[in-house]
Amino acid sequence: MVNYQFDSLDATFAALADPTRRRMLESLSHQQMRVTDLAEPFAMSLPAVSKHLRVLEKAGLLKRRRLGREHHLELEPAPMKKAHLWIERYRKFWEGSLDSLANYLENNQPKKPKKRKKT
C-alpha cells in the first residue's frame, strides 16, 4: 500500500472544501501573484484573504516567495496530486463493483468484478 501522509491529506481536503480557496488556486495555476493582486477580485478584507492563504499554506498548496517587501505566491500542486490519487481509489472500487453489478444483472452470473486495467 502506498504510504500516504494522511494528516496532510486531511489538510488538503479541508483547504479545498472552500470555494474561495479553490478560486484562489485557480488564479495561481496560471501565474505567480502578489497577495494584493490575488485579493483584488474577492470582495473581502485583506485579513480575510490572509486567513484563506494561511489555510492553503498550511496544506502545502501554496508557496510564498519574499521579494524585498513583496510576497509572491505560487501554487504547489503536489498535495493535490495525492488527494487525486485518494479519490481514484474509490473510483476504481465503484467501477469494479458496477462492472460486477452489470455482469450479474445482464448475464445472471454471480461473479466478482473483472480485473480492470489502468486506462
- Using CB under 8 A, list all residues that contact another protein: 1-2, 4, 6-7, 9-10, 13-14, 16-17, 22, 25-30, 75, 77, 80-81, 83-84, 86-87, 89-106, 110, 112-113, 115-118
To which H or E segment does residue 72 belong?
A: strand 70-75
Q: How far is the CB of 71 from another protein (least distance, A)?
A: 19
Kindly tell me which of 45 and 93 has the beta carbon lying closer to another protein.
93
Residue 67 to residue 113: CA distance in whole angstroms: 55
Kindly tell me which of 72 and 96 has the beta carbon lying closer to another protein.
96
Residue 85 to residue 52: CA distance in whole angstroms: 24
Pair 67, 74: CB distance under 8 Å:
no
Kindly tell me which of 30 and 66 has the beta carbon lying closer to another protein.
30
Pair 57, 73: CB distance under 8 Å:
no
Q: How far is the CB of 68 from another protein (least distance, A)?
A: 27
